[in-house]
């Protein structure tokens, strides 16, 4: 199962990466693609900041509609706390939204698909893939 990070959905929406589009077209029909509430929030925030807020929101909703969405719940909060403590101990914290996305991926046993491998790569046990490389 694959949990797509915000930057992957943005690449799909903007059609900026043929590599991402090709991999997505291969994986999506298998039913293995997921999103999460944190990514949806980031995408919607980007839409309302844009010059074409209504059209961009519609495009986001249409793209995400077929894919199951994980929420940040109490079980995810435990993963969040563990990851945050681990990274603080190492002196390598990451941003709060990325931390939430990572916790959701870990809780649900997903491979996180992201181009932000520098930050997410610091998390022990988090499976990641970069479809742009």
How large is the average pLDDT for residues 65-92? 97
> In this predicted structure, what is the pLDDT of residue 36?
98
pLDDT band at residue 42 under the 50/70/90 scheme = very high
For the chain, the average pLDDT equals: 97
Q: How many CB atoms lie within 10 A of CB 18?
A: 10
Residue 16's pLDDT is what? 97
Please report, rounded to a whole number, the percentage of residues in the chain having pLDDT higher than 90: 99
Question: Within a 10 A sphere around the Cβ of 5, how many other Cβ atoms?
Answer: 26
Give the CA radius of gyration of the chain.
15
The structure's pTM equals: 0.96
> Are the C-beta atoms of 47 and 57 separated by less than 8 Å?
yes
Q: What H or E segment, with its residue span, contains residue 2?
A: strand 2-4
pLDDT (average), residues 88-100? 96
Give dist(CA 57, CA 69) in Å, integer.
17
The pLDDT value given to residue 22: 98
Handedness of CA 129, 75, 68, 53 (dihedral sign): negative
Q: Residue 43 in contact with residue 6, Cβ under 8 Å?
A: yes
Q: How far apart are CA 24 and CA 45, in angstroms?
A: 23
Which pairing describes strands 128-129 and 69-70: parallel, antiparallel, or unpaired? unpaired
- What is the residue extent of each domain of the chain? 2-129
Confidence of residue 116 (pLDDT cuts 50, 70, 90): very high
CATH 3.40.50.1010 fits 2-129, yes or no: yes
Mean pLDDT throughout 26-43? Answer: 97
């Amino acid at each position: 199962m694959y949990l797509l990070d915000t930057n992957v959905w943005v690449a799909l929406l903007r059609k900026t990466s043929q590599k991402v589009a090709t991999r997505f077209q291969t994986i999506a029909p298998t039913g293995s693609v997921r999103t999460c509430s944190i990514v949806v929030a980031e995408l919607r925030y980007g839409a309302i900041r844009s010059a074409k807020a209504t059209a961009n929101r519609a495009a986001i909703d249409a793209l995400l509609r077929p894919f199951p969405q994980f929420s940040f719940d109490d079980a995810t909060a435990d993963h969040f706390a563990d990851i945050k403590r681990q990274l603080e101990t190492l002196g390598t914290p990451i941003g709060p939204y990325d931390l939430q996305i990572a916790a959701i991926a870990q809780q649900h046993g997903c491979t996180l698909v992201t181009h932000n491998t520098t930050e997410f790569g610091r998390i022990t046990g988090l499976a990641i893939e970069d479809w742009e490389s």
